């Protein structure tokens, strides 16, 4: 499948699931016509789209007419945030969000503020869990129109108290938006939200397909191009592949999560025991099954990432030197944990125990070499 190295960056993009590949090939043959037209080939395309919508809605436990497909998780997040805010302008222009939202949500918040709205950021604890009391407090403020809480951190894996936040929001009639990009197709979804988004390439679907769910009774206006309602310009083959792979991922999810949990527990314990001066971050128990993050004191994150890449390990990093803006991950900053020398490992369905063990065997030497090169041994 072209992933011969140990690919440990599923949280950015999962390798294409075989079910997606198969469905994509079939849909490229069969689903290229404009589904809005009336001839039989168009009706075939329409059927494929309806079936994809139905299957996806079923996995999410929502009604098909509550679901739309977008051009990716980022587009879905923007649509959710800006669409829910626009629909509630009469109530107020306040947005509440956690400090550890994905940049897609933060950018939507910035756009809202630039347009005259307000945004209230709620902090997290050292493990990366939102301050629920502060979140509830902010939601209760007059003028709060929408609250946003990520389902689980894409950087450190900590699961967020979505249901409790949803209850608090509901008491004040405030809709809760949940960015569930790292949870859909992997772990059961929480209840208590009004809007939810996801991204197909996180579960093994193709890139460029996002999901937006707006529950019935939630005020919402379409802020972007209004094409999707008529399904004219959607990437139908990609949507069909996303739906097929979501169904397959969902069927495998429980067993896979169990396997990943064991491997991640091993990484957490072994890294802490074999690498000196390392901080393994995120909640050790209440976390995503497939993801773990740690920071190595005195080590340059970019150098570590390249050294790992040379040994055949693809990981990502929240360290400033690895970001285009040269700022550290806002998630690590909000948690107050070490941001340099940071590595995020995230597993996929074909990650093996042997991959993980090879990583654990090589990591201490790689970190030691980098520290020796930098002359920071015994500091």
Binding at 88: pick from ligand PLP, other proteins, none (beta carbon under 5-8 Å per type): none
Q: Are residues 334 and 123 in contact, defined by beta-carbon separation less than 8 angstroms?
A: yes
Residue 124 interacting with ligand PLP (CB under 6 A): no
- CA–CA gap between residue 213 and residue 259 (Å, rounded): 29
Question: For ligand PLP, which residue of 46, 78, 102, 259 counts as binding (CB under 6 A)?
Answer: 102
Question: For other proteins, which residue of 298, 312, 314, 368 counts as binding (CB under 8 A)?
Answer: 298
Binding at 231: pick from ligand PLP, other proteins, none (beta carbon under 5-8 Å per type): none
SS3 assignment, position 276:
coil
Q: Are residues 139 and 174 in contact, defined by beta-carbon separation less than 8 angstroms?
A: yes
Residue 120 interacting with other proteins (CB under 8 A): no
- DSSP letter for each residue of 178-211: EE-TTTTTTSPPPS--SEEEEEGGGTTS-TT-EE
For residue 211, what are the β-bridge partners? 69, 198
Active site residue 321: yes
Gyration radius of the chain over CA positions: 21
Residue 164 interacting with other proteins (CB under 8 A): no
SS3 assignment, position 97:
strand
Q: What are phi and psi of 192, to 5 degrees?
A: 95, 10
Interaction residues for other proteins, span 245-284 (CB under 8 A): 277, 279
Binding at 367: pick from other proteins, ligand PLP, none (beta carbon under 5-8 Å per type): none
Question: For other proteins, which residue of 74, 234, 319, 346 counts as binding (CB under 8 A)?
Answer: 319
Residue 351 interacting with ligand PLP (CB under 6 A): no
For residue 158, what are the β-bridge partners? 287
Question: For ligand PLP, which residue of 48, 55, 104, 189 counts as binding (CB under 6 A)?
Answer: 104
Residue 182 interacting with ligand PLP (CB under 6 A): yes
- CA–CA gap between residue 146 and residue 95 (Å, rounded): 5
Binding at 327: pick from ligand PLP, other proteins, none (beta carbon under 5-8 Å per type): other proteins
Q: Token match 């992997």: residue? A: 186
Residue 130 interacting with ligand PLP (CB under 6 A): no
Q: Token match 């168009």: residue? A: 42
DSSP category for residue 316: B
Binding at 154: pick from ligand PLP, other proteins, none (beta carbon under 5-8 Å per type): ligand PLP
Question: For other proteins, which residue of 177, 341, 360, 366 counts as binding (CB under 8 A)?
Answer: 341
Residue 281 interacting with ligand PLP (CB under 6 A): no
Q: Are residues 77 and 223 in contact, defined by beta-carbon separation less than 8 angstroms?
A: no
- The pair of structure tokens assigned to 160 is 């967020």
Which residues are part of the catalytic machinery? 321
Binding site for ligand PLP (CB under 6 A): 72-74, 77, 102, 104, 150, 154, 179, 181-182, 199, 201, 210
Binding site for other proteins (CB under 8 A): 277, 279, 297-300, 319-321, 326-328, 332-333, 336-341, 374, 376, 379
């Amino acid at each position: 499948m072209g992933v011969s190295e140990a690919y440990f960056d599923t949280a950015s993009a999962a390798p294409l699931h075989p079910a997606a590949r198969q469905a994509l090939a079939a849909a490229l043959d069969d689903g290229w016509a404009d589904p809005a037209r009336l001839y039989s080939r168009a009706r075939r395309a329409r059927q494929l789209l309806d079936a994809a919508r139905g299957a996806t809605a079923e996995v999410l436990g929502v009604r098909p007419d509550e679901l739309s497909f977008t051009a990716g998780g980022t587009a879905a997040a923007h649509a959710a945030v800006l669409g829910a805010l626009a629909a509630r302008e009469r109530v107020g222009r306040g947005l509440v969000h956690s400090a550890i939202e994905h940049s897609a949500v933060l950018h939507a918040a910035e756009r809202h503020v630039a347009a005259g709205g307000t945004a209230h950021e709620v902090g997290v604890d050292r493990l990366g869990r939102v301050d629920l009391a502060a979140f509830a407090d902010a939601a209760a403020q007059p003028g709060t129109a929408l609250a946003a809480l990520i389902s689980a951190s894409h950087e450190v894996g900590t699961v967020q108290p979505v249901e409790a936040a949803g209850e608090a929001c509901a008491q004040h009639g405030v809709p809760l938006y949940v960015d569930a990009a790292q949870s859909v197709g992997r772990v059961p979804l929480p209840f208590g939200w009004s809007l939810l988004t996801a991204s197909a390439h996180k579960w093994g679907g193709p890139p460029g397909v996002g999901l937006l769910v707006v529950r019935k009774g939630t005020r919402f206006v379409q802020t972007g191009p209004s094409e999707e309602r008529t399904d004219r310009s959607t990437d139908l083959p990609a949507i069909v592949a996303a739906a097929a792979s979501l169904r397959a991922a969902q069927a495998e999810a429980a067993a896979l999560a169990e396997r990943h949990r064991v491997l991640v527990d091993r990484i957490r314990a072994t890294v802490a025991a074999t690498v000196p001066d390392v901080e393994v971050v995120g909640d050790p128990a209440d976390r995503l099954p497939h993801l773990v993050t740690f920071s190595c004191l005195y080590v340059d994150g970019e150098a570590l990432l390249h050294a790992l890449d040379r040994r055949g390990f693809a990981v990502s990093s929240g360290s400033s030197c690895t970001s285009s803006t040269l700022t550290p991950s806002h998630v690590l900053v909000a948690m107050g944990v070490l941001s340099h020398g940071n590595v995020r490992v995230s597993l996929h369905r074909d990650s093996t125990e042997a991959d993980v063990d090879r990583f654990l065997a090589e990591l201490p030497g790689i970190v030691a070499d980098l520290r020796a090169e930098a002359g920071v041994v015994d500091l």
